[in-house]
Amino acid sequence: MNESLHALLKRCDTPTVCNAIEVAQGKRGFNDFTRGTMQSSAPGAAMVGYARTARIQAVNPPTEDADVIRARRMAYYKYMAEGPRPGVAVVQDMDVPNAIGAYWGEINTNVHKAFGLSGALTDGVMRDLGDLPDGFPVVAGSIGPSHGFVHVVDFDQPVEVQGMSVAPGALVHADRHGAVVIPQDVIPALEAAIAQLFKSEKVVLDATKGKRIDFEAFEGAWAAFEASRT
């Protein structure tokens, strides 16, 4: 991903990215995105970056020795501090649908932001909504008050978040609508696809937004819209 594409994706919402992937692929049917309603700590912000993946649990205390848990936690932080940038922490909560441990609060968001990550995506829980740092959005499955017995189970492995599979290093885009994994093969064509998408949508929006039109005017605008997409 070059700097120009990165800047463009930061300005786009996730539905636009989903539509642009279909434009780049020349067909519908792409389905590598989250399901269900997610919560965003910063509704106006989008995150984009290469996935740094992990899994956590919190309902029950860990059964392993405390030294093992501590060593894994520090290895996890080292992993999150390294790798390509921009990066996004993608963390699966293995307690879903009964997740209670808010891994993403004031401490962890500031730590991960200091590592240079661009945000966090999880099907688990976030908290401390008034104290999260600017410039580090969290898109989560839920909001809750406690961290429970939260601990890292593993990292740098494929994870699943809200029905979306994410491999380490996958390019992820997320905002208040949810998240999408951008296929590697469409990345070179994505800027042009977004430009084409905006051009096509403008045909309909210019004809309808803030206006009152009859069906005949709509029919003509829609024909021009469909022609612009071919």
Task: For residue 128, say whether it is annotated as part of any ligand binding site.
Answer: yes
* Dist CA 31 CA 10 (whole Å): 21
DSSP state for residue 128 in the 8-state scheme: -
Residue 164: inside a domain = yes
Residues 143, 120, single domain; the answer is yes
Residues 66, 163, single domain; the answer is yes
* Mean of pLDDT over the chain: 96
Residues 48, 158, single domain; the answer is yes
Average pLDDT over residues 108-128: 98
Report the domain count for the chain.
2
Residue 213: inside a domain = yes
Average pLDDT over residues 132-157: 97
3-state secondary structure 87-110: EEEEEEECCCCCCCCEEECHHHHH
- What residues make up the domain containing 98? 31-182
pLDDT of residue 230 exceeding 70, the answer is: no
Residues 39, 61, single domain; the answer is yes
- Give the CATH number for residue 157: 3.50.30.40
- How confident is the model at residue 48, as a pLDDT? 98
Domain boundary among 182, 200, 215: 182
Average pLDDT over residues 149-163: 98
Average pLDDT over residues 167-194: 97
Average pLDDT over residues 181-204: 94
Residue for token digits 């786009």? 12
Residue for token digits 């989903």? 18
The torsion angle over the Cα atoms of residues 137, 142, 145 and 147, rounded to 10 degrees, is: -80
Residue 12: inside a domain = no
pLDDT of residue 176 exceeding 90, the answer is: yes
